[in-house]
Amino acid sequence: MTTPIQTNHKIICLGDSITFGYPFGPAFSWINRLRSQGLNLVNRGMNGDTTNDMLRRFSRDVLASAPTHVHILGGTNDAWLAFDPEESQHSICNMVELSLEHGIKPVLGLTTPICSNPLAGNSFFPFGTDKIKVWLSRFRKWLKDYTALHDIPLIDYYTPLCLPGTEEGEARYFYDEGHLNHDGNAMMAVVAAKSFKDLLTTEEQSLFFTL
């Protein structure tokens, strides 16, 4: 039995279709699965969003809600549209800086993998996935370096969704090459639940020892 965590928090989850829950909708997203575990998460995922799009709506969808934390997860659409990687990195940095300026704790997510052959055979990327995979691999490395340098929590959604020992998304978790099925959302929820609970517990303990 999962023990709900009791803490005063509000976490805005800002992202793209992986956060929104495409193609099934928010009710079937990994975020919705966590609400029964005492985590106060708000789904602000939007299908098709790039990191630039997320930055443009940051004030409306994050700052206006005055959360304790913001979880930022994106990058796949940037890769699909062949954005300049520095532009995407700049958007992430700006969102982190805006969070800190307003007393909101940023938590970044490591972008989910691409699956070349999803179990159901659905297709989303008509021109293939090779260039997208290369772009995302470099972006994930940058995310790891950036969060380590600035001591920002980073949740690894990538590794649990990959075939062990590879960089290929495990077919049983994917609806199409880039989107998750119900099992994939369930795995995301498991990873997020542990990460958020560990983070919130550590923060509460730090506050206790500071008082």
Is the residue at 141 inside a domain?
Answer: yes
Structural domain contains residue 1: no
Give the pLDDT score at 210: 33
Is residue 47 one of the residues assigned to a domain?
Answer: yes
What integer pLDDT is reported at residue 208 of this predicted model? 35
Q: CB 123: neighbour CB atoms within 10 A?
A: 11
Q: Each residue's pLDDT tens digit in the chain (211 positions)?
A: 455 554 689 999 999 999 999 999 999 999 999 987 889 999 999 999 999 999 999 999 999 999 999 999 999 999 999 999 999 999 999 999 999 999 999 999 999 999 988 887 788 877 779 999 999 999 999 999 999 999 999 999 999 999 999 999 999 999 999 999 999 999 999 999 999 999 998 887 554 333 3
Residue 156 lies in a domain: yes
Q: Is residue 2 part of a domain?
A: no
Question: What is the predicted pLDDT for the residue at 202?
Answer: 87
Which residues span the domain enclosing 61? 11-205
Does 180 map to a domain?
A: yes
Would you say the pTM of this structure is higher than 0.85? yes
Write down the pLDDT at residue 211. Answer: 31
* 211 found inside a domain: no
CB 101 within 8 A of CB 62: no
Count how many domains the chain has. 1
Residue 178 domain-assigned? yes
The pLDDT score that the predictor gives to residue 209 is 32
- The CATH number of residue 76's host domain is 3.40.50.1110
